Amino acid sequence: MKVLLIGGGGREHALAVKIAQSPRLTELYIAPGNPGTAECGRNVPLNISDFEAIGDFVANNGIEMLVVGPEEPLVKGIADYFTDKPVSVIGPSKKGAALEGSKDFAKDFMTRHGIPTARYQSFDKNQLQQGYGFLEQLSPPFVLKADGLAAGKGVIIAGDLSEAKSTLKEMLDGKFGAASSKVVIEEFLQGIEVSVFVLTDGKSYKLLPEAKDYKRIGENDKGLNTGGMGAVSPVPFADRIFMDRVEKKIVEPTIRGLQADGISYTGFIFFGLMNCAGEPYLIEYNVRMGDPETEAVLPRMNADILDLFDGAAKGNLDVKQCSIYPKTAVTVVIVSGGYPEAYEKGAVIEGLSSIGENRVYHAGTARNGDKTVSAGGRVLAVTALADNLSAALDSVYDSVEKIHFEKCYYRRDIGKDLQKMI
């Protein structure tokens, strides 16, 4: 099978490694890819939102499957663009992608299909007073979300009512541009977060390993939100009882809801959940895999990922094989100092060849002559797979310490909170 993978981060490097292991692969192209994906296939310099250029490449190179990593092209309708073309797309239609592209749509979907989620209401520019009224009914802290995509920055948690009111006004006045022309206000849920992933053909699904993400830049979950500083899979509190509840109360009603609403869906669904005293609540949907969760989840999958993708595309995912290795994966992300605010690029990365069996996924790197240099905020994601959490932590940090570039930074406490739960 000839495959084109769209994207260029750590998630796509992890997908590229898994796709390259498939016996069904004949050629893998990655657009735009990165120096890591270049070791799995051929990088092609295409803009991920330029559907015509992607379409030409697909037609000219006989691509049979298009795997879409990031949400942006999905929300813009890349799957719809290829509907009548002879290529399978792994990623939902624009309608399905609205589960991530519009928080208001997602909350309405959850409510209509009886999926447990925080109580909410949505407001636009003309409803500021009603928004204040709803905030007055809630107790602090207050959760305000830009309706549209805001590069992961569109959620603000306000500690008191006056801050919540001024935040609502700022958001509706365009703090996040068009993305916050509508704002979802919701009840704050107290609990521990966990991310659950499925691959679906729109009728059946395969449950992938769950993961915990570490979103804040600082240790002990302090400081600004990032794209993700680390991930651990499995998650000790996501035991059989909890996961059964997740499937019955969240995953199955979602798949049934998509069918009832006439939304055909091929691809991943990422459920951002809160475990509230053992009960799962859905915080958000993403219509793609997480980053860096993918770098922890895929190494645990004992499956031919292209065969699964083919099943998802053809509607026979239920007959495909997929099991999970009973191992623990820990991923630590190494970032450029300053991230998620301003940071420098171009620092030479050393130590990449000295990490033994562990995996280094490139997220924001570039080649400069024969050197690999930093080229983004999140630069590398290092994953260790071991028999238990302690061994995986020892192993991953042993590798991370061997990698260096000027002003590099990583959190030293990934997985430490989970160690206390075992």
Residue 286 contact partner, candidates ligand GLY, ligand AMP, none, CB within 5 to 8 A by sort of partner: ligand GLY
Residue 355 contact partner, candidates ligand GLY, ligand AMP, none, CB within 5 to 8 A by sort of partner: none
Binding part of the chain for ligand AMP, among 44-52, 181-189, 196-204, 374-382 by CB under 6 A, reads: 181-189
Q: Binding of ligand GLY at residue 33 (CB under 6 A)?
A: no
Binding mask 264-293 for ligand AMP (x = CB under 6 A): --------x----------xx---------
| Cβ-based nearer residue to ligand AMP, 170 or 193 | 193
Q: Binding of ligand GLY at residue 101 (CB under 6 A)?
A: no
- Contact between residue 57 and residue 388 where contact means Cβ atoms under 8 Å apart: no
Across the strands, what pairs with 232?
Answer: 212, 330
SS3 (DSSP) at 243: helix
| Cβ-based nearer residue to ligand GLY, 283 or 312 | 283
- Contact between residue 110 and residue 284 where contact means Cβ atoms under 8 Å apart: no
- We find the least distance from the C-beta atom of residue 153 to ligand AMP, in angstroms, to be 9
Binders of ligand GLY: how many residues, by CB under 6 A? Answer: 7
First-to-last alpha carbon distance for the chain, in angstroms, is: 43
Binding mask 190-229 for ligand AMP (x = CB under 6 A): ---x---------------------x--------------
| Cβ-based nearer residue to ligand GLY, 121 or 286 | 286
Q: Return the residues of window 264-303 that contact ligand GLY according to CB under 6 A.
A: 286, 290-291, 293
- Contact between residue 386 and residue 395 where contact means Cβ atoms under 8 Å apart: yes
* Interatomic CA distance for residues 14 and 359, integer angstroms: 9
Asked if residue 292 has a cis previous peptide bond (ω within 30° of 0), the answer is: yes
* Interatomic CA distance for residues 400 and 394, integer angstroms: 10
Q: Binding of ligand GLY at residue 228 (CB under 6 A)?
A: yes
Q: Binding of ligand GLY at residue 399 (CB under 6 A)?
A: no
- Here the tokens at position 217 are 């830049």
Binding mask 162-201 for ligand GLY (x = CB under 6 A): ----------------------------------------
Q: Binding of ligand AMP at residue 104 (CB under 6 A)?
A: no
Spatial CA neighbour of 361 closest among 339, 376, 346: 376
Place of tokens 């959760």: 143
Residue 9 makes CB contacts below 8 A (sequence gap 6+) with: 34, 69, 70, 291, 363, 364, 378
Q: Binding of ligand AMP at residue 231 (CB under 6 A)?
A: no
- Contact between residue 273 and residue 286 where contact means Cβ atoms under 8 Å apart: no
* Interatomic CA distance for residues 308 and 315, integer angstroms: 10
Spatial CA neighbour of 261 closest among 80, 91, 81, 96: 96
Spatial CA neighbour of 34 closest among 380, 352, 365, 355: 365
| Cβ-based nearer residue to ligand GLY, 164 or 238 | 238
- Which position among 143, 229, 258, 308 is part of the footprint of ligand AMP (CB under 6 A)? 143
Contacts to ligand AMP by CB under 6 A: 118, 143, 155, 186, 188-189, 193, 215, 272, 283-284
Contacts to ligand GLY by CB under 6 A: 213, 227-228, 286, 290-291, 293
